[in-house]
Structure 1
Amino acid sequence: MTAAADFHGVESLDPRIHFGDEQTLFALKREYIDVEVIARFTVDGEPVSKARARFTNRGSKTRVYTPEKTRVAEERVAWSFREVAPWHEPDNEFTYGVMAVFFSDTRQRRDVDNMLKLICDGLNGVAWHDDVQVEEIAGRRGRDLIGNARTDILIYRIGKIQRPEKACLQCKQPFLIYNSTSRQKYCSAQCRSDARKANRVRTCTNCGETFEANPSDESTRCSRKCRTDATTKLLVCVGCGTSFRRPQSWVKTDASWCSRTCQDQNLTHCKHGHEFTPENVYRRPSGGARECRTCRAASSKARRTAPSPPTEIAYDTEETAA
């Protein structure tokens, strides 16, 4: 059975190639096992190896550049690909494979890996975003008659890039993560913004209304009025009937006065029934409410005449035992 029959009548990459050529069979192996072929094309001319970058100094700055021969060869590969696959757009979601057969009409020494590297770099931004997406690569070097030097190239798609995924904390949809973004919690800036807004929305513990607060703020009340209402108590002045508020820690009884002036004007007797006359009123030097002099004198006398508590005598236990 001939090679042509083995490949079910598949046409050669180049009309100058015969199906009996071993290199041609090698180039068609991938297509034979039914992969998604992106492009098959031939670049005429002697195969070129990828040359190392060159450096040049301009004043105090160092410039890196690609040699002219390598740059022209990469452009020829890119234009040849565009001619046969103008519809293809580079992406970063799929992996690719490259097969190339290099036919030389000279005996000049060339490394296959350097020639493959030139093809991969030449198709950056044309067949793929970056040649890191190339996961399979194969090449073979052969010789042909003078004037038949060329490079036969086969580009095929392998499949989607396998990347780890993570569920978004906001929309619960999976998104791709990388080593540099392993701590990322949200799939997009919009989800991150929505999550921050959701954290800001709270319910006021005083009035029950919803409000937005800074995530770093631990406030549970929507306004200053609600904070005041929650931490103070509403009282009515026993003298003038005016409503007023006092901190809850200050309030000991509901019978309170709105001000010291109101208390002086309306309170005429102390709690023991003594009248507040100018001679019976005492005020501390530091200020404060009126005090009854009669009550102060009685309290002072009771303290002086109160019996003293018995004094306990401490005995030394060692001396007592002796």
Structure 2
Amino acid sequence: MTSITFTVPGTPVGKGRPKFARRGKFVTTYTPEKTASYENLVKLAAAKAMDGRQPIDGAAQVSIWLWVTPPASWSQKKQRQALAHEIFPTTKPDMDNVVKGIFDAMNEIVWQDDKQVIDLSCYKRYSETARAEVKITQIGVTA
């Protein structure tokens, strides 16, 4: 079984909706800059973790931990409670949008396509250091 683990530093970013712009007579779509920047950060971390290996073949199991910092506007007591996991982050970014961005960024680097993922667990918690921790395990080969 092959496993790949990496950490994406900084606050996790949800995949933004495509934007549209008129260019003369044409309308073009583009990815929001914040989304593109975060996906590039994921690609760099994933490529470093792969260390030149080929993308995994077959089914994959994924575990993602999203760590966000408590708001600075909160009292010290409330921040301590958040860091002790007595309060949970129920604000943006939406977990599913972050996962979509991370998965899209790993296409053709960690796996051929994110359709290979058959098991997913994702958690969002408070931490002093914002980051996303990703673990991918190959659990089968292509049928």
* Counterpart amino acid of residue 108 in structure 2: G
Counterpart among 75, 81, 88 of residue 40 in structure 2: 75
Query: In structure 2, what is the Cα distance between the partners aligned to 1:122 and 1:55?
Result: 21
Shift of 1:111: 1.4
1:157 aligns with 2:138: yes
* Counterpart amino acid of residue 149 in structure 1: A
* Counterpart amino acid of residue 57 in structure 1: R
Report matched runs for 1:147-226 at 5 Å: 148-162=129-143
What CA RMSD, in Å, does the superposition of the two structures yield over aligned residues? 1.6
- With a CA cutoff of 8 Å and minimum separation of 6, indicate the structure with the bigger relative contact order: 2
2:122 alignment partner in structure 1: 139
Query: In structure 1, what is the Cα distance between the partners aligned to 2:93 and 2:39?
Result: 16
How many residues align? The count is 124
1:56 aligns with 2:39: no
Q: Is the CA contact 1:37–1:154 (under 8 Å) kept in the aligned structure 2? A: no
Whichever structure has more strand as a proportion of its residues is: 2
1:95 aligns with 2:59: yes
Query: In structure 2, what is the Cα distance between the partners aligned to 1:136 and 1:49?
Result: 20
Sequence identity percentage? 31
Report matched runs for 1:1-322 at 5 Å: 36-90=1-55, 93-107=57-71, 108-145=91-128, 148-162=129-143
Describe the SS at the equivalent of 2:51.
coil
Shift of 1:109: 2.3
Give me the TM-score of the superposition, normalised by structure 2: 0.79
Q: Is the CA contact 1:96–1:157 (under 8 Å) kept in the aligned structure 2? A: yes
Q: Is the CA contact 2:50–2:109 (under 8 Å) kept in the aligned structure 1? A: no
Post-superposition CA distance 1:211-240 (Å, at most 9, x none): xxxxxxxxxxxxxxxxxxxxxxxxxxxxxx
Query: In structure 2, what is the Cα distance between the partners aligned to 1:71 and 1:99?
Result: 22
Instruction: State the 4+ residue runs in structure 1 displaced beyond 4 angstroms.
Output: none
Rg: which structure is higher?
A: 1
Unpaired stretches in structure 1, ≥5 consecutive residues: 1-35, 163-322
Post-superposition CA distance 1:273-309 (Å, at most 9, x none): xxxxxxxxxxxxxxxxxxxxxxxxxxxxxxxxxxxxx
Unpaired stretches in structure 2, ≥5 consecutive residues: 72-90
